[in-house]
Chains A and B, each alone.
Chain A
Amino acid sequence: MEFWFSEHHTENVKFSVKVDKHLYTNETDLGRVDIFESLEFGKFLAVDGYIIFTERDEFIYDEMLSHVPMAVHPNPKSVLIFGSGDGGVVEELLKYKSLERIDLVEVNDGVVEACRKFFPETASSLDDERVTVYTENALRFIRHIENEYDVIIVDSAGFYGPGESLLTREFYGGCYKALKADGIMVNQHQSPFYEEDRIETQKAHKRIVDSFPISRVYQAHIPSYPSGYWLFGFASKKYRPVLDLNADAWNKLGIKTDYYTTNLHKGCFALPAYVERMLADVEKIKD
């Protein structure tokens, strides 16, 4: 018997993972959540047939979303996270003893519930006393918040479905307003490689450039995502992502990571020529 999970990365490209067991499935109006046990990627969670994270490579994603803004901001006390209901980003953030408050907004409480059951070690980070989990629409949550957070981390699932609202100008505008005067927002920025993803990446970039004075893009390698090559956005009111990095201060914290380093931090903002060009195409103001 062979049991394969397949996901279309484009109409003409399919990515398949050999599955050992189908552990969980649940469908609500927010989408269908599945958890599989695989031989190569460990357990992985899919929403509407798209891989959201795998045990094997999620550390890359979580570390790049967490440590990049945390290493630039000189004194982050409060962080707001959208998505990431598995607790992976929170787990990274809890390594910062100086953090006082982590608020997490996940519209799909089914994800949180499933993760608590099948990924208890990661999900237990959500039980830390500094963490509050809100089950609410992201736009509704952020609409009336002003000047409250040092860092906002946007872990949207993708461009279609319930996560779509996390890629809109009204959302980025809401994040700008919810950040303090020196706040930083990071977000997952899709992949620049395949045509359809590229268009969405450019659109999101344009929206962020329109909303923040400083807006840069950085990259990482994530094997289970389309093309394996992924971008993140760094948007900020004051700090520049590389020039304002205090590597010594961060290294003194003694945080153990598997992907992120301050050297990698400096390098990950150096983008391939074709990516630079596609971003420049939609930028009005250059950093």
Chain B
Amino acid sequence: MNQDQAPIYEALEEFRRKRIVPFDVPGHKRGRGNPDLAKLFGKQCVEIDVNSMKPLDNLCHPISVIKKAEELAAEAFHAAHAFLMVGGTTSSVQTMVLTACKKGDKIILPRNVHRSVINALVVNGATPIYVNPDMDRRLGIALGMKISQVEKAIEANPDAVAILVNNPTYYGICSNLKKIVELAHAHNMLVLVDEAHGTHFYFGENMPITAMAAGADMSSISMHKSGGSLTQSSFLLIGESVSAGYVRQVINLTQTTSASYLLLASLDISRRNLAIRGKEAFAEVQRIADYARTEINKIGGYYAYGKELINNDSIYDFDTTKLTVFTLDIGLAGIEVYDLLRDEYDIQVELGDIGNILAYISIGDRMREVERLVSALYDIQRRYRRERTGLFDHEYINPSVVMTPQEAFYAAKEEMIPIRETNGRICTEFVMCYPPGIPILAPGERITQEIIDYILYAKEKGCSMTGPEDEKIERLNVIREQTIY
């Protein structure tokens, strides 16, 4: 197929030229009924905020231009089929889980899985089997899955139906995807890849292997991250072994019937853009990131890491477009550098955790801004450097899954129990701790004294804790005693 085409975009252009009189929704009628809306987004934009109609196809059951756009995307990503998604990559990830397993099934997951996965388990009632991700103790980040850990999980749960892999992680760490696929397929398990941070792997050169090339069965692609489309637009890819018709049914369980053509057109245009100029664009992204890494490492005190981390197992490969900088050696937490960059230097980076900041380098970056980032880091080091303090060291605590997330979610609860009194109870909430962004508790898990001590210690050490209803994390919601079985 000719990747120069953008069928949805072209259909919208054609539609605009025809000057159709709208007696349908949306009610703003090309922005006329809501002047402030038209002013904020521009005439161009509100004019193509339209409803599904014959010339523009329908996302719930594509037969013309959306179908064509899906075929083009499938070809561009070397997938058997591609779905245009408008509910964020969360909707892609949840569709993968809902397609692969159902109530009573087991699914193998890394413990540092995205919250959307556990939420999907609340919906379908499947049981999570967690694999402990490897940790880098110095940097304080979670790594990929070790093959030995995956093997152990498969041996202990030969009846599991699928394995989900985060590849790459937020920090650009890749697992040995090909080997995981081999292992899983040998045991009749599907491989689902949360590839939210890996869109560019499909278009750039010298990049880590893609989920589709590794033989994975399904993959979620955050096109709006490195792919350049509008926020909330995403692709779901599948291989030959999964039925496209069934996946469509699963998607339609929760997907809107009024999909935004702004999002759909942005996916279409972005796919075309990457297919045509992705190779050069991502070579430039890599060049910029490599330059920034070299310059930041020259400053002294910072560590911008790259491929030297590779250990052939839990860091099987590294995505060099990710610019992550370890800051603790200048005596500043990543989150402090993150705040200084924004408040004092007008620079917003993607994240700051205890030990690191992550600057997102993409196809929209120019050298002049990179020079600013490097110089700002230099200036922060010059002005704010102080003695290094200890890093919060943490041990992985194996979760004790007593009931499925679904059972815990719908069970009768006792709310707001002081945390010190929860030993032995079953939690109905998430408790996340950053770093390293691994859940300490998920719904349906037994609270132990070890976990209580850990939460209190992490809080005292200034880790950022999220999840529970009680923002101060002094109280937790638990299952009512009599419902324990």
Contact = CB atoms under 8 A, between A and B. Distances in A.
B346 interface: yes
Contacts of A173: 375, 378-379, 382-383
Contacts of A171: 375
A137 B376 contact: no
A139 B382 contact: no
Interface in A132-163: 137, 139-140, 142-144, 162
A154 to B, nearest CB: 14
A210 B344 CA distance: 9
A124 interface: no
Contacts of B441: none
Of A144, A162, A169, A177, most B-chain CB atoms within 10 Å: A169
Interface stretch (B4-12, B317-325, B366-374, B463-471): B366-374
A122 interface: no
Interface residues of A, number: 17
A161 B368 CA distance: 9
B392 interface: no
Contact of B375 (A143, A162, A164, A210): A143
B377 to A, nearest CB: 8
B360 interface: no
A177 B382 contact: yes
A143 B372 contact: no
**Interface residues of chain A: helix, strand, loop or mixed (majority):** helix
Given A165-B368, A173-B382, A173-B383, A139 B375 contact: yes
A106 to B, nearest CB: 14
B372 A165 contact: yes
A174 interface: yes
Contacts, number: 50
A170 B383 contact: no
B434 interface: no
B368 A170 contact: no
B344 A174 contact: no
A137 B344 CA distance: 21
Contacts of B345: 168-170
Contact of B371 (A144, A165, A210): A165
Nearest to A141: B371
A170 B382 contact: no
A139 B372 contact: yes
Contacts of A144: 298
Contacts of B379: 169-170, 173-174
Given A168-B346, A169-B345, A210-B344, A174 B375 contact: yes
Given A165-B372, A170-B345, A170-B376, A137 B382 contact: no
Interface string A70-83: 00000000000000
A143 B367 CA distance: 15
Contacts of A177: 382
Of B295, B298, B367, B375, most A-chain CB atoms within 10 Å: B375
Contacts of B344: 169, 210
Nearest to A138: B371
Interface of B: 295, 298, 344-346, 367-368, 371-372, 374-376, 378-379, 382-383
Interface of A: 137, 139-140, 142-144, 162, 164-165, 168-171, 173-174, 177, 210
18 contacts: A139-B371, A140-B295, A140-B374, A142-B375, A143-B374, A143-B375, A143-B378, A165-B371, A165-B375, A168-B375, A168-B376, A169-B346, A170-B345, A170-B375, A173-B383, A174-B378, A174-B379, A210-B344
